[in-house]
């Protein structure tokens, strides 16, 4: 199938095979950080998926050694300055809101909000070689994007709290040893396995897939707005601190 290029070249959309569509994030300039181009491309991609009743499963992946890197330095600075809020453009829960099942083929690094975004999918595949981190507190501000809820739901209380409070990085093979409930594979096997899973899902009737996903996703969808409200309130209390600005300026990318 030919790739259907989005208005943003940083995000492409193409039908892999009957019923299976793949979104590829490839903003090399930002290492798949949440640049305007990447966010706009993701919003447009999921909008097109919603409009196509022939598709029954989605694979979301990145390029080379990057899945998604979360907020760019410029985005974090606008949040610190109070000129924007992470909930003003919702890309983080697109996989949760999608009617059909989504598989996060996290073949590369998942950093901060990028890692959180991947966890909203119905299936998650990790790479042994890649690093995954909820590193919000590295910069001195509290987690956003529903991280305080979705990490607990997907990883368990102990590991989720450790990741958020310590802001440490974890290789996929280390998370595998910690017992994460996801397949952790060599990087080269992540996308092929995701497509295999998508093929299995897409063999089912779309109407039934939508009904079951709506049922399974309902508790997360219902809880999320209040979690986001609480996280925004924490940001208002913590993000404006001068120490946070200094950390963003000096530690970003390290």
Indicate which residues carry an active-site annotation.
235
Positive or negative, the Cα torsion across 20, 117, 61, 26? positive
Structure tokens at 246: 């200094």
Tell me if 185 sits within 8 A of 126, measured CB to CB: yes
d(CA 204, CA 189): 24
- How far, in Å, are 124, 196, 209 from residue 206 at the CA level? 21, 17, 5
From residue 91, alpha-carbon distances to 44, 109, 189 in Å are 10, 18, 26
Structure tokens at 118: 């991947």
Given strand 109-111, what is the order of strands in its sheet? Answer: 66-68, 109-111, 131-133, 169-171
């Amino acid at each position: 199938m030919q790739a259907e290029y989005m208005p943003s070249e940083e995000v492409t959309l193409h039908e892999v095979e009957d019923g299976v569509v793949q979104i590829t994030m490839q903003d090399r300039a930002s290492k798949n950080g949440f640049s305007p181009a990447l966010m706009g491309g993701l919003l447009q991609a999921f909008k097109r998926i919603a409009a196509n009743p022939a598709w029954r499963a989605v694979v979301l992946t990145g390029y080379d050694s990057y899945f998604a890197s979360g907020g760019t330095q410029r985005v974090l600075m606008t949040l610190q300055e109070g000129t924007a809020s992470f909930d003003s453009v919702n890309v983080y829960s697109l996989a949760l809101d999608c009617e059909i099942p989504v598989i996060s083929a996290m073949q590369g690094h998942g950093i901060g909000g990028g890692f959180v975004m991947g966890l909203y999918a119905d299936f998650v595949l990790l790479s042994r070689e890649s690093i995954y981190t909820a590193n919000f507190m590295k910069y001195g501000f509290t987690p956003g994007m529903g991280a305080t809820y979705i990490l607990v739901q997907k990883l368990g209380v102990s590991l989720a709290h450790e990741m958020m409070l310590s802001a440490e990085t974890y290789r996929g093979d280390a998370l595998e040893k910690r017992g994460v409930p996801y397949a952790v594979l060599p990087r080269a096997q992540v996308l092929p396995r995701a497509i295999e899973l998508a093929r299995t899902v897409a063999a089912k009737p779309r109407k039934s897939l939508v009904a079951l996903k709506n049922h399974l996703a309902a508790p997360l969808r219902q809880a999320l707005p209040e979690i986001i409200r609480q996280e925004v309130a924490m940001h208002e209390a913590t993000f404006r601190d001068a120490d946070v600005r200094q950390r963003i300026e000096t530690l970003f990318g390290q």
